[in-house]
Structure 1
Amino acid sequence: MRNEHAILIAYGSCAEAMNLAPVVLELRRCRRIRPVVGAPGAGSETFDQVRRLFRVAPELDLDLAGCGTSLSDVVMRARAGLTASLERSAAYLTARGIGSVLVDGDSTLSLAVAMVGFRGGLPVVHVNAGVTGSPPEDYPDGARTGRLIAQVASLHLAPTAAERRSLIDNGVDPDDIVVTGRLTVDTRMASAGNPFGDGRAAARVRAAVEELLGLGRRMPDFEQSHLV
């Protein structure tokens, strides 16, 4: 459709791909949103399991978005004040019709895509916002990366009320946060044979994205007592 909004769903590891697959499936149900999956080395065998389980495969090679270098290098150059690389990467996305970006967690790739999207004036959606895989004292880079993504994100999708509190403590506007529930639950359900999982977390992601784009309204936050 000509009036579809293309949103880049970016992942850089099999774990991220498994986590975001239910979101891709859910967004495919939207008539006015087209999810475009992007990953470094889009043809890599790394994501074969996700292709088989979910029929989700990268369409956009994020290595090319780095214009001859990795997106991680793009971020390093940006931190050094060399923003031309960010601008070229943003132009690469917009030339392909990307209107917004969605990233997961606190990986370097997520930060890179978020920075590129922000530089290009694209709304940035942060799934698993407020989450750090390890305690901050054990993994300070992850905590810093997550906070940097939070600074450029337009929409923060936290899995639980605990992450919501963490985001608010770090200065995020509560109105920009949605508690979705854990996407890993949807992934387990989907890999067991239900192509859309139980829909709880992924549906909240979809509804929040629709509201951000002016296409619908968000669902109520997932209550802590209902989380699995």
Structure 2
Amino acid sequence: MTLKVMTVYGTRPEAIKVAPVVKALEACPDFESTTVVTGQHREMLDQVNAIFGIVPDHDLDVFAHGQTLNSIMAKVFDRLDPVLVQERPDAVVVQGDTSTVAAASIAAFYRQIPVVHIEAGLRSGDISSPFPEEANRKLTSQVTALHLAPTSTSRDNLVREDIDAATIAVTGNTVIDALLHTVEQQIPFTDARLAEAERSGRSVMLVTTHRRENWGGAMEGVGRALKALAQRYPEQLLVLPAHRNPIVREAVLPYLMGLGNVVVTEPLAYGEFTRLMAASKIVLTDSGGVQEEAPSLGKPVLVMRENTERPEAVDAGTVRLIGTDEQRIVDEVSRLMDDDSHYASMANAVNPYGDGRAAERSVAAMRQLFGLGERIADFA
């Protein structure tokens, strides 16, 4: 008899990281895979599903402009519970740290359904940063039956919180599986400006910024720093896929108006974004997932945050935490631009996040959870 595994996800980063596991579950004869999207992100979520050929079985469609975190959580609780009753899954899989993850894991726990948490054990050590992700991760860990930790550091974080080590598997990060799959597809740019930059071989700095804790004065400082960098390095093309949140756009975009070497795009589809990362010289970001992806492509990453729940690449030297101070952003990017040895030391550092077999390890751990087989060796 096959066991039903329900994967619940709602944002583009979640979709990217669950996709390899969903495909591995579909290929495993022991499991019947069911997918539920909450639609916490809408258009970007659908784009990722299309890349991996995933057609969700249920769509909770919780997205609404300007809604609060409490509203998202309430909608997921209310709309997911009838699906749990209808489908009666043997396990619910969640990924990461969004409001979808926290709500879905607690809803499953209330229905006494085992929770499997992909990317378990990330910790920044500050409950308010990143917000609300750090709290969502910790809440989810309390109700999880199987913790799929991406690294040994994440495993150690869980053990320190008195999580039973027997319930933890170190898998590597599924984002590497997804990235390698997507880069191989060579998905072309639809924006003519990006296609031309790639053809010409022009040096590109990729920038992403959206973090809630940076809203306001810090993000305006990011905008001023980007303007200063564009003026200091006119030969460099600065590309900013602009987050759709108007708070982000109003803080950053006014500083970039009229600069000929700045390209502002709408959020890029995942396939195009991975191509842009591969074509970039430097990545400047406050994103979590980009800290894992870009090092796999040999790109130095400067992170505009005060702390990170992903310290492994910082320790390895391919990621550097620089905060949001305007002058420091300018100084750190300038150092990478002007100092070839410093650039090489970051670009050539070893990526500690995965080897492309995270989904395989994840499904093997799920088989062991149900007494169907043995795990394979942890990712080291």
Q: TM-score range by the shorter chain?
A: 0.7 to 0.9
Equivalent residue letter for 2:94? V
Q: Which residue of 2 aligns with 1:226?
A: none
1:73 corresponds to 2:74: yes
> Contact conserved, 2:12 with 2:48, CA < 8 A, in 1?
yes
- 2:181 and 2:102 map into 1 onto residues whose CA distance is 27
Q: 1:179 aligns with which of 170, 178, 184?
A: 170
Q: Which residue of 2 aligns with 1:131?
A: 122
Q: 2:28 aligns with which of 12, 27, 30?
A: 30
Equivalent residue letter for 2:57? E
- 1:151 and 1:74 map into 2 onto residues whose CA distance is 22
> What TM-score comes out, normalization by structure 1 length?
0.79
| Higher Cα radius of gyration | 2
Q: 1:200 aligns with which of 357, 360, 372?
A: 357
- 2:49 and 2:163 map into 1 onto residues whose CA distance is 35
> 5+ unaligned residues in a row in structure 2: which ranges?
63-69, 186-353
- Residues 63 and 71 from structure 1, CA distance in 2 versus in 1: closer, same or farther, beyond 3 angstroms? farther
Q: Which residue of 1 aligns with 2:374?
A: 217
Measured after TM superposition, the shift of residue 151 of structure 1 is 0.7
- 2:82 and 2:57 map into 1 onto residues whose CA distance is 17
> 5+ unaligned residues in a row in structure 1: which ranges?
76-84, 224-228
TM-superposition CA deviations, 1:80-134 (whole Å, max 9, x none): xxxxx67x854531322322100011111101110111111111000100125x6
Q: Which residue of 1 aligns with 2:86?
A: 95
- Residues 20 and 116 from structure 1, CA distance in 2 versus in 1: closer, same or farther, beyond 3 angstroms? same
- 1:120 and 1:12 map into 2 onto residues whose CA distance is 20
RMSD: 2.7
- Residues 131 and 57 from structure 1, CA distance in 2 versus in 1: closer, same or farther, beyond 3 angstroms? farther
Percent identity for Structure 1 against Structure 2: 34
- 1:7 and 1:94 map into 2 onto residues whose CA distance is 14
Q: Which residue of 1 aligns with 2:306?
A: none
> Contact conserved, 1:39 with 1:58, CA < 8 A, in 2?
yes
> Contact conserved, 1:37 with 1:58, CA < 8 A, in 2?
yes
SS at match of 1:192: helix
Q: Which residue of 2 aligns with 1:78?
A: none
TM-superposition CA deviations, 1:26-73 (whole Å, max 9, x none): 11111120121111249x533232233210132112358xxxx96601
Equivalent residue letter for 1:8? M
Where does 1:154-169 land on structure 2 (aligned, <5 Å)? 154-169=145-160
- Residues 140 and 198 from structure 1, CA distance in 2 versus in 1: closer, same or farther, beyond 3 angstroms? closer
Between Structure 1 and Structure 2, how many residues are aligned?
A: 204
Q: 1:113 aligns with which of 104, 107, 130?
A: 104
Measured after TM superposition, the shift of residue 140 of structure 1 is 5.1
- 1:70 and 1:219 map into 2 onto residues whose CA distance is 40
Equivalent residue letter for 1:219? I
- 1:112 and 1:73 map into 2 onto residues whose CA distance is 8
Where does 1:1-80 land on structure 2 (aligned, <5 Å)? 3-41=1-39, 44-63=42-61, 72-73=73-74
**Greater relative contact order (Cα 8 A, min sep 6): structure 1 or 2?**
1
Q: 1:147 aligns with which of 125, 138, 163?
A: 138
Equivalent residue letter for 1:73? A
